[in-house]
Structure 1
Amino acid sequence: MTPGAHRRRVPCCTALVTTRIDLAELQSVGGFFALRAGPAPAAVPFTQVYAPPTLADPLTFRVTKVAGRLGAPEDRIAVSVAQLGLAARLWSVALGSAALYGAVPDLDPALLRWDADGTSPDDLWIGDVRALPADAETVRDVVQHGHLAPLADALRARYRISAGLLWGNAGSALAGAVRELHGWAAREGREDVGERALDLGAALFDHPDLRGTGTLTGTVFRRRSCCLYYRCPDGGVCGDCCFERPPQRSSPGASPG
């Protein structure tokens, strides 16, 4: 996809709903489902994250931090892991809200703020929780078009990494959010929430950017690409990886993207 090919539809005021989203309960599903409300001095709006890089570039900062933590031998490994974590946060907040409350917080990049030095649950902040409808089209609009597409464009403008790998990460993150939410719902006796998560997940995967990333059967996902984590010291393959075991590290270019 070319930069700017995905355009987020800006919801008009009539698209807002009055349903209350309980951020405390949402976080109880797991740290990836957390969204903080209120001021966050260290966080920046995602419009700044996706803008052309400056000397204080939050994306470059995050990738460098992840690279140091993992001991990643290549930039693209840290790029992949950083993007995968952020995709998981965004999908989880939106999908969890949709399944639990029938509403999705408006995560417009101008409203949502990110602390590139933070980790869940303290990295995503929003000043005012404005609820939108919880249909799959709105969730896709908020997360996939509003964030994942411009995030991929921004990362590919800074680093050499394939679009297929990044969309594979997005599919893996979506499947992971469905799986976590479904498991929480089963433990809490909220089968209705688990079923909504499965239905939304299946609908969200039915899009050209995600449909080819892997196979989702219920909560089980097998992706067709690899996030490259196995290339880190002591790294291994993830549970949904296309590899059964880490492949031979013959050359940096041998890994699938």
Structure 2
Amino acid sequence: MRFRALLVPLLFGQVSSAFILRQKQTSYPSSLHVKDLERDIEERSRRNAKGGAGEVAAGAVLGGLIGGPFGALFGASIGSNLGAKGALERARKEEMERLGVTEEMLQSARDVGVALERSLEGLKATRESLETQQSNARRLDAKIEELYDKAKSALSSGDEDAAKRFLLERTSVQDKLKRVLTQCAEEKRRYEQMESNVSILEEKAMEVNTLLQRTIGAKAIVDTGNLGLSLSKEDPLLQKFRDLGLD
């Protein structure tokens, strides 16, 4: 009965706090318009490639990449498309140069992406395993209660042999429940460790996303400045003003 007194609150009073896991809310970056950027890079890459290789445009993959760590960033197509050859590969490199993104940045994003994707898969599998064990624990506890009631009923009817059988079976089920609860505790500790690892990888993914955004923004500022400088030097009207001494 002492064992029963310990198990009942664990199963029905504290199981939600001890074993039930709450889904963590995650904020995803959305400062870049991913689809618009994807379309822009894909169109430019295909146009520049002039009907090159038939693979999905690597520029589109890059567009998804710089859109944030939770979209196309960690897609399985990244590795294969970034290895494309020929005209499409040249177009991809041109788009990378235009955006100011380096191969090292892409590799860093790929590494973080693969690690995060695997960690999320493991987290999901562990959670499902824990929930299955929780259901099994509740089922066993209900069985223990049922056998106890049957034993009392048999004893009230004077059938001591049946009462003993029910109590022996109840003891066996209690042993199973102990093992299941131990597994639940171990699985919960495993889940919490994996959840911590995912959080670290999410932070790393955010850092990669921020770096890409800042790089693209800085490159755009430099290009805009150079364009303005070039226009001021080549504007024929300004040159005429200089020739007339009116600058």
Answer whether TM exceeds 0.5 for this pair.
no
Which structure has greater helix proportion? 2
Which structure has greater strand proportion? 1
Please tell me the TM-score bracket, short chain as reference: under 0.3
Structure 1 length normalisation: TM-score? 0.27
